[in-house]
C-alpha cells in the first residue's frame, strides 16, 4: 500500500473494518507494520501470495504495479482501492461505505487477466539481472544528453537498428502510461500484442510497432562506450546494463488477475481519465 499519505491509513482502517464485518480474515503486508494501533498480523508479501485468496491494494496505480510484480506467479486476484491521482488500474472508490469492495467480496465483479513482461539482462550469455513489469520495460541512457545505438531483434529476426534516447516495450496496460506520452497507440487490455516504441529516434522513418504478444524481443546494445544504459521496469525497478549486453523481453507465462466493480468499462475509464468528453 501507499503509506506516505495520511488518507491511506484512514482508508486502511475502513477496509479492515469492512472485511472483518464480512468475516474475512485480514493480514497486512509487513511494510504497514505500526501504521495502525491494534492492527491485524503482518506477513511478508511472499506469504500473502502463498496463503491469501485476495489482495487489496490501497493507493495509486504505482502501488498496484508493485503488488502485481510480487503476486503475478501466485494466482492471487488483486483489487485496487484508489488513493492516488489517475486511477487507471485502482478503480474501487474508498467512499460510500466501500460498497464496491463489499460487492466484490460477495462475488459480484468483473475479472480481467492482464499481461506481464519478464525482462532479463544477458551478459556473455548469462543472466545478470531480471525483473517483471506490468506496464513497461524501458531501455534508456542514464545521461539524458547522450544518444544510444541498439538493434531490435524480434523472434530472432533483426527488425531495425536505432539511434535514439531509448526504447519502450509496453504491455496493453502500459500503452496508457509512458508509451502514450511518447506518442504510442492505446491498446485495449484484451488485445494480444506488445508495443515496441523508440524514444526520440534520430530518424524521420521510425514508427511504433505492435507485435504478437508471444514474440521474444531482444535489444542488443552496441558497444560504443558513449552512453551508460539502464533498464527500468514500471518506472520502479532500475537495472544497470553495459553496452554490449542483450536485453530480452517476453510476456510472462502467468498473468495478473484484476477484479473490478460490476460497472467497470475500459472505454469509459479512457474517456474519464483522458478527459475525452
162 marked among binding-site residues: no
Contacts of the segment 39-45: beta carbons below 8 A, 24+ positions apart: 40/16, 45/70, 45/71
Question: Among this protein's residues, is 224 annotated catalytic?
Answer: no
176 marked among binding-site residues: yes
Locate cell 492482464: which residue?
A: 114
136 marked among binding-site residues: yes
179 marked among binding-site residues: yes
35 marked among binding-site residues: no
* Beta carbons of 48 and 29 less than 8 angstroms apart: yes
155 marked among binding-site residues: no
91 marked among binding-site residues: no
238 marked among binding-site residues: no
Locate cell 547522450: which residue?
A: 146
Nearest residue to 143 via CA among 166, 170, 169, 120: 166
Catalytic-labelled residue, pool 61, 91, 234, 245: 61
Gap between the Cα atoms of 148 and 164, Å rounded: 6
- HEC secondary structure over 79-93: EEEECCCCCCCCCEC
124 marked among binding-site residues: no
Instruction: Tell whether the torsion through CA atoms of 145, 148, 152 and 158 is positive or negative.
Output: positive
89 marked among binding-site residues: no
Q: Give one word for 9, left, alpha or beta, with left for phi > 0 and alpha for psi -120 to 50.
A: alpha
62 marked among binding-site residues: yes
As annotated, the active-site residues are: 61
Feature table: binding site: 61-62, 135-136, 163, 165, 176-181, 236
> Binding site for NAD(+): which residues?
61-62, 135-136, 163, 165, 176-181, 236
Amino acid at each position: 500500500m501507499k503509506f506516505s499519505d495520511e488518507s491511506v491509513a484512514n482508508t486502511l482502517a475502513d477496509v479492515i473494518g469492512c472485511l472483518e464485518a464480512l468475516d474475512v480474515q485480514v493480514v497486512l503486508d509487513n511494510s504497514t507494520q505500526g501504521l495502525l494501533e491494534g492492527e491485524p498480523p503482518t506477513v511478508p508479501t511472499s506469504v500473502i501470495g502463498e496463503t491469501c485468496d485476495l489482495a487489496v491494494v490501497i493507493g495509486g496505480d504505482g502501488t498496484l504495479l508493485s503488488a502485481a510484480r510480487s503476486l503475478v506467479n501466485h494466482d492471487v486476484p488483486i483489487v485496487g482501492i484508489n488513493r492516488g491521482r489517475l486511477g487507471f488500474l485502482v478503480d474501487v472508490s474508498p467512499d460510500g461505505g466501500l460498497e464496491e469492495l463489499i460487492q466484490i467480496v460477495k462475488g459480484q465483479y468483473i475479472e480481467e487477466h492482464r499481461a506481464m513482461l519478464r525482462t532479463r539482462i544477458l551478459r556473455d550469455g548469462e543472466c545478470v539481472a531480471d525483473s517483471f513489469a506490468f506496464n513497461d520495460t524501458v531501455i534508456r541512457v542514464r545521461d539524458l544528453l547522450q544518444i544510444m545505438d541498439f538493434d531490435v531483434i524480434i523472434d530472432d529476426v533483426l527488425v531495425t537498428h536505432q539511434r535514439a534516447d531509448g526504447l519502450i516495450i509496453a504491455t496493453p496496460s502500459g500503452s496508457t502510461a509512458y508509451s502514450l506520452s511518447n506518442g504510442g497507440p492505446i491498446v485495449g487490455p484484451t488485445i494480444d500484442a506488445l508495443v515496441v516504441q523508440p524514444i526520440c529516434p534520430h530518424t524521420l522513418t521510425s514508427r511504433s510497432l505492435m507485435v504478437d504478444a508471444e514474440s521474444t524481443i531482444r535489444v542488443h546494445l552496441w558497444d560504443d562506450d558513449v552512453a551508460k544504459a539502464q533498464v527500468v521496469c514500471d518506472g520502479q525497478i532500475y537495472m544497470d546494463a553495459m553496452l554490449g549486453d542483450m536485453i530480452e523481453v517476453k510476456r510472462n507465462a502467468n498473468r495478473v488477475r484484476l477484479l473490478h466493480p460490476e460497472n467497470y468499462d475500459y472505454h469509459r475509464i479512457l474517456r474519464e481519465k483522458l478527459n475525452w468528453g
